[in-house]
């Protein structure tokens, strides 16, 4: 039985906060947990790859917990392939699943749309700008950042940046912070100027 240490940050901000406050709980029954997302300050969605991160095997699932880390549903949504990044907006739950973004209705627990991203290879993280109603999606193997409109679920822009290897994303408008997998660097993508630069000049990370 695998254990997953889930840290719930009560005060979250990348590179801006001075202090972090958090609690930690040991949770059983996850299968290769990848991402967590707090929903309406009441629940936590957790994506479970449950297998090979590139296999379309229908083994993946999404868990739902309360803020005390008690399971509401171990498998709130199932039959995904290798779900990774997750984000919510209203009744929508967006999930990156290898080469597509799947859109679910939370209230109906139902898949309502599949967004195909051109030439996507290994979709990873996903984040949201609620003001612009835009999703940002990283493709780690494709060195690409996609933007998707929530209004019509269509891809707006494709930013190919050689050797970027984008993994984790964090949005602080107009900056998109990108954790690079291969480069071991955090980059800042200026969404107004369409420029990318390293956040740290002398600091690098493993992956």
Provide the whole-model pTM.
Answer: 0.88
Count how many residues are written for the chain: 207
Over residues 11-67, the pLDDT tens digits come to 333 344 455 566 677 788 899 999 999 999 999 999 999 999 999 999 999 999 999
Per-residue model confidence as pLDDT tens for the chain (207 residues): 333 444 333 333 334 445 556 667 778 889 999 999 999 999 999 999 999 999 999 999 999 999 999 999 999 999 999 999 999 999 999 999 999 999 999 999 999 999 999 999 999 999 999 999 999 999 999 999 999 999 999 999 999 999 999 999 999 999 999 999 987 899 999 999 999 999 987 667 777
Q: Which two tokens stand for residue 29?
A: 């029954």
Domain 131-207 has CATH 2.40.10.480: yes
Q: Which of 108, 111, 72 is nearest to 94 (CA)?
A: 111
Looking at residue 189, what DSSP letter applies?
E
Closest CA to 64 of 36, 103, 83: 36
Tell me how far the alpha carbon of residue 106 is from its chain's centroid. Answer: 17
Q: Where are the domains of the chain?
A: 131-207
DSSP 183: T
Residue located via tokens 């290798």: 82
């Amino acid at each position: 039985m695998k254990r997953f240490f889930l840290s719930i940050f009560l005060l979250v901000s990348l590179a801006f906060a001075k202090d972090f406050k958090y609690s930690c709980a040991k949770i059983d029954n996850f299968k290769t947990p990848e991402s967590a997302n707090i929903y309406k300050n009441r629940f936590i969605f957790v994506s479970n790859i449950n297998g090979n991160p590139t296999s379309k095997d229908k083994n993946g699932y999404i868990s739902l917990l309360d803020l005390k880390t008690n399971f509401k549903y171990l498998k709130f949504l199932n039959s995904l392939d290798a779900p990774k990044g997750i984000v919510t907006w209203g009744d929508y739950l967006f999930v990156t699943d290898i080469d597509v973004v799947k859109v679910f209705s939370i209230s109906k627990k139902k898949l309502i749309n599949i967004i195909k991203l051109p030439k996507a290879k290994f979709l990873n993280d996903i984040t949201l700008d609620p003001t612009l109603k835009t999703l940002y999606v990283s493709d780690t193997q494709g060195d690409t950042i996609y933007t998707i409109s929530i209004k019509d679920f269509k891809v707006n822009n494709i930013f190919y940046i050689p050797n970027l290897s984008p993994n984790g994303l964090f949005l602080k408008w107009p900056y998109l912070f990108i954790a690079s997998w291969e480069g071991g660097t955090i980059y800042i993508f200026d969404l107004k100027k369409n420029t990318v630069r390293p956040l740290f000049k002398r600091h690098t990370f493993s992956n």
